[in-house]
Structure 1
Amino acid sequence: MALNISSKGLSGSIPPCIGNLSSITSLDLSNNAFLGKIPTELGHLGQISYLNLSINSLEGHIPDELSLCSKLKPTTSLPPDIGNRLPNLQSLILSMTHLSGPIPSSLANMSKLEMIYLVATGLTGVVPSFGLLPNLRDLDLAYNHLEAGDWSFLSSLANCTQLKKQNKIYGIIPSEIGNLRSLTILYMDNNLFSGHIPPSIGNLSNLQILSFALNDLFGEIPDYIGNLAQLIEFHIDGNNFSGSIPSSLWHWKHLEKLDISDNSFFGYIPPAVGNLSSIRDLIFARNNFFGHIPSTVGNLSSLSILSFAQNNLFGHIPELVGNLVKLTNLFLHGNSFSGSIP
């Protein structure tokens, strides 16, 4: 049994007697002018599997009694005109909800928006342009099923400090990303990006966390990455990078986490690795590094995780590694070390 009275111009409160419709399986009251609170009597609808109360003027809390509707499937889409209806909204936070469909392009009309959090919602389709949102600081679209659209809007997000797009977006990383000079956190991991890291990344001098992990990026790490002197975390694991590590990287005094595992880097691990005085996690596993572990690793007194596993290293494990009293995880297997364990 279904009742659909959507878009009928109805007003007033939703009558409590609606809870008497004990056999109803679908109820659609959307796009009317209902106001007041959601009646607790809706919890009596034990057979209902679809309930739509969107685009009304309801207020208050969602009643706990709705949890009694065990067959109810919480899934819906964002109204296409949400941006026109809520032009003064400053924060849109709908993470971990059960949404479907695309992100409405009308969000671009919410010129006062400062935060958009749509994490793990189930949204699909192309990411719309947010270029008309000059106040946007945080944009988090992670863990959905979104696709890349026109990235040029990134040039307009001058105040953006956090950008997270962990989807299955493919293509190259847009050079416009270098215009986000206020950015402190950039998560672009777990996508299908290919190509090189764009030179414009070197413009992001305020970055503290940068992750391009689990993509299809390749080539060498560019020298200009050393311009990111404020970095605390750098993750590029699970790509196809090769070559040696640029010397500019060893000057990151604030770096605490460095993960370059599962790539094709080669060459010696230089003694300059000992300059990373704040490092806690140092993960170089599953590359093609060869030679000895430099003794300067023993100077990294804050190390908690050290992994050089599955490379082509040989020789003795430095005695000073035994002085790393904060070390909780040490992975050196898959190499050709000799001698005793310090």
Structure 2
Amino acid sequence: MSGWSSSCRSPLLLVLLLLLFPLAADATSQTTAAAAAGGDRDTLLAIKKSWGYPPQLAASWDPSATANHCAWKGVTCSGGGGGGIGVVTELSLPGLNLTLPIPASVCALENLARLDLSYNNLAGAFPAAALYPCAARLRSLDLSHNLLSGPLPSGIGSLSPATMEHLDLSANLFTGEIPEAFAGLTELTQLNMSSNKLTGAVPAWALRHGKLEYLYLFDNALSGELPRDVTAVNLIELDFSMNRLTGEIPDAFRGLKKLTLLFLYKNQLTGSVPWLFRHDRLESLCLDENGFTGNLPSEITAANLILLNLSRNQLTGGIPQAFGNLRNLKRLFLQNNRFTGTLC
């Protein structure tokens, strides 16, 4: 009997261990998640302290009032570990009048993927030291409408090169040229650096980027001719207006088949633009306040055009009757050119 019991006991013990292991693993996972969630709460409190207890956060980021930090202002969580409390994946804190530097503790939020600090009063250089530790996981960074200044760092390509999809640095005071290092952000789909004081040429990499869909560089001091190697075939919106660009629009722009918006107004561009009126996806085309010359083409097949502004150029000849075939056209500006003939 003892032999039988001994021989059966080991398999039975193995079965019990196999049954209990998932429960233990699940308990360990829940404990880990709870620890992470608790750590995020402490990190948020440290961030609030570093920012000088801003009044907009003081009332909301208060564990005595609301224990679940995922319910605090501007905080988004995922997961349900720790008694239904998840880990922080997003901080959205626009318009809070933040003035002190971004604390390094922001990157102690180990699951942070999106950070929006737009419309504040953050000043000084690009906060590289605070943000580079987040490099492995940030997907979206919005620092627009602040007072950040100075040149963009040459190491900016290290800022989440494998994950960054959306980067908005618009409406600051950045100066100098756009670093080539931006090309290292290979997953970017949206890049906005408009309304700064950037100089130099439009970077060639920007029009070769394979994943960019929205590119805004308007209202800077960019100069020189547009790049002629244009292979960013996924571009949907392109705005280089209010700069100092010269030369002609390269024929390679014809390859931007997905383009719905092209704004190049208030530059010093020259030449003719007949092919643009055959682009079947364009909805908004603004080329006003340049030096474009020549006649408008008699054949206009850009049937999706809604907005067309060609004002304040040096265009000549008659206004084509084909404009009457643009059934979607709602806004047309042709004033201050050298057109002749009658408008039918």
| TM-score category, normalised to shorter length | 0.7 to 0.9
Give the C-alpha shift of residue 135 in structure 1.
1.0
1:180 equivalent to 2:185? Answer yes
CA distance in 2, matches of 1:147, 1:54: 31
Q: Tell me the residue number matched to 2:63.
A: 57
Given that residues 131 and 154 in structure 1 are in contact (C-alpha distance below 8 angstroms), is that contact kept between their aligned partners in structure 2?
no
2:133 is paired with a residue whose SS is: coil
CA distance in 2, matches of 1:299, 1:274: 6
- Aligned runs of 1:40-189 on 2, under 5 Å? 57-60=63-66, 89-129=88-128, 130-133=131-134, 134-148=136-150, 150-157=153-160, 158-166=162-170, 167-189=172-194
> Cα 1:55–1:328, aligned 2, differ >3 Å: closer, same or farther?
closer
Equivalent position amino acid for 2:311 in 1: A
1:242 equivalent to 2:243? Answer no
Give the C-alpha shift of residue 168 in structure 1.
1.7
1:307 equivalent to 2:309? Answer yes
> Cα 1:137–1:59, aligned 2, differ >3 Å: closer, same or farther?
farther
Stretches of structure 2 that go unaligned for 5 or more consecutive residues are 1-47, 50-54, 68-86
Please, what is the CA RMSD of the aligned residues? 2.3
Larger Rg: 2
CA distance in 2, matches of 1:117, 1:146: 14
Stretches of structure 1 that go unaligned for 5 or more consecutive residues are 1-29, 32-48, 62-87
2:181 is paired with a residue whose SS is: helix
CA distance in 2, matches of 1:325, 1:210: 28
Q: Tell me the residue number matched to 2:336.
A: 334
CA distance in 2, matches of 1:51, 1:336: 58
Judge which range, 318-327 or 272-281, deviates more.
Answer: 272-281
TM-score by length of 2: 0.72
Give the C-alpha shift of residue 221 in structure 1.
0.6
> Cα 1:321–1:105, aligned 2, differ >3 Å: closer, same or farther?
same
> Cα 1:55–1:305, aligned 2, differ >3 Å: closer, same or farther?
closer
CA distance in 2, matches of 1:111, 1:52: 23
Aligned mate of 2:287, from 284, 289, 296? 284
Give the C-alpha shift of residue 95 in structure 1.
1.2
CA distance in 2, matches of 1:179, 1:113: 21
CA distance in 1, matches of 2:186, 2:57: 44
CA distance in 2, matches of 1:304, 1:323: 12
CA distance in 1, matches of 2:314, 2:235: 29
Q: Tell me the residue number matched to 2:10.
A: none
For residues 309-340 of structure 1, the C-alpha deviation after alignment (integer angstroms, 9 at most, x for no partner) is 00011110111011111111110011011111
For residues 11-68 of structure 1, the C-alpha deviation after alignment (integer angstroms, 9 at most, x for no partner) is xxxxxxxxxxxxxxxxxxx96xxxxxxxxxxxxxxxxx9995698634439xxxxxxx
Equivalent position amino acid for 2:206 in 1: I
Runs of 4+ with >4 A deviation? 49-56
CA distance in 2, matches of 1:255, 1:291: 24
- Aligned runs of 1:247-286 on 2, under 5 Å? 247-269=251-273, 271-286=274-289
2:132 is paired with a residue whose SS is: coil
CA distance in 2, matches of 1:123, 1:241: 30
Give the C-alpha shift of residue 274 in structure 1.
3.1
Given that residues 154 and 180 in structure 1 are in contact (C-alpha distance below 8 angstroms), is that contact kept between their aligned partners in structure 2?
yes
Q: Tell me the residue number matched to 2:81.
A: none
Q: Tell me the residue number matched to 1:191.
A: 196
1:324 equivalent to 2:333? Answer no
CA distance in 2, matches of 1:170, 1:295: 43
Equivalent position amino acid for 2:212 in 1: L
TM-score by length of 1: 0.73
CA distance in 1, matches of 2:182, 2:89: 23
Given that residues 269 and 291 in structure 2 are in contact (C-alpha distance below 8 angstroms), is that contact kept between their aligned partners in structure 1?
yes
1:204 equivalent to 2:205? Answer no
